Amino acid sequence: MSDYPDRVHIAEMGPRDGLQNEPLVSTQAKIDLINTLSQSGLTHIESGAFVSPKRVPQMADSAEVLTHILRHSNVTYSALTPNLQGYNQAKANHADQGAIFTSASEGFCQSNIHCSISESLERFIPVMEQAKQDGIKVRGYLSCVIDCPYDGATSPQQVAKIAQALLQLGCYEISLGDTIGTGTPVAIQRMLDAVLNVIPRHQVAVHFHNTWGQALVNVHQALTMGVATIDSSVAGLGGCPYAPGASGNVATEDVLYLCQGLGIETGVDLEMVAKAGWDICRELDVSPLSNTSLALLSK
């Protein structure tokens, strides 16, 4: 028996996780993308990342983006803040929320942020302490919750352990990432069963990549288990620079269409999101990776 939530909260990843693995686009194109998404009913848009511009040059203009977007009072504009320097930059440029990230696998943690899992958690303590003083909420991302490109399969118990550690650090929500997109509904169920034993359901989000075409069915599996926060990326853009073979995120348009069909409220205008997707894809000179967008275009 399924236990669908009455309403789903979409955390839009396109301007950050989407564009960080795509060719460089202009700062104005990023601003226009966020401005269009802000009109769609989305209430959480991850708008940039304060990381090393040498490692992720696509995010080098995050300060300018956050400074020049047209903000809506009902929208949270968040940024990735992996260390205290990045957090302070995000705060100075009026990011509404921060986000930290680690991995459920040692191999990916070493490749992505060049330290062990335990060391990554220690590094986040100053960020969390400062954010608490500032009254700024911080989200936690956990990568490789199903498989790791270096270590192979990740045990559900390991995912639950690290997710709980992020919660104990002070993250208000933990986003569980199938970073290389190898998950299937059975694997997602096992992983979520373990996590939901130690973390309240309302503090769990899912973040699925579509490498093997399973992202949308995996979203459906999470919905049947009552998970009500879904990370997605407009037009299915994205991937991960440090996960070989990882493709784009599940497309926001497809998640919205799925929720419509299930009778789940989102408060988001599907056609407005599709417009934003087509606009940014023209800038990138690619086609949207969203079946829903393609169907809307063919009407």
Query: What tokens does 121 get?
Result: 């958690």
pLDDT at site 294: 73
**Where residue 243 falls among pLDDT bands split at 50, 70, 90?**
low
pLDDT at site 299: 65
Active site residue 240: yes
Give this prediction's pTM.
0.95
pLDDT at site 35: 98
pLDDT at site 194: 98
Which one from 144, 240, 259, 281 is the annotated catalytic residue?
240
pLDDT at site 296: 78
Q: What is the mean predicted confidence (pLDDT) over 190-211?
A: 97
Q: What is the largest CA-CA distance in the chain?
A: 52
**Each residue of 15-57: pLDDT tens digit?**
999 999 888 999 999 999 999 999 999 999 999 999 999 999 9
Residue 244 has pLDDT above 80, yes or no: no
CATH number of 9-297: 3.20.20.70
Sequence spans of domains, the chain: 9-297
Cβ–Cβ under 8 Å, residues 21 and 238: yes
CA distance 291 to 220: 16
Query: What tokens does 2 get?
Result: 């399924």
SS3 assignment, position 103: strand
pLDDT at site 1: 47
Q: What is the mean predicted confidence (pLDDT) over 212-230?
A: 97
Q: What is the mean predicted confidence (pLDDT) over 222-232?
A: 98
- Each as own residue / partner, the long-range contacts of residues 120-125 (CB below 8 Å, 24 or more positions apart, any chain) are 121/165, 121/166, 121/169, 123/82, 123/83, 124/100, 124/169, 125/169
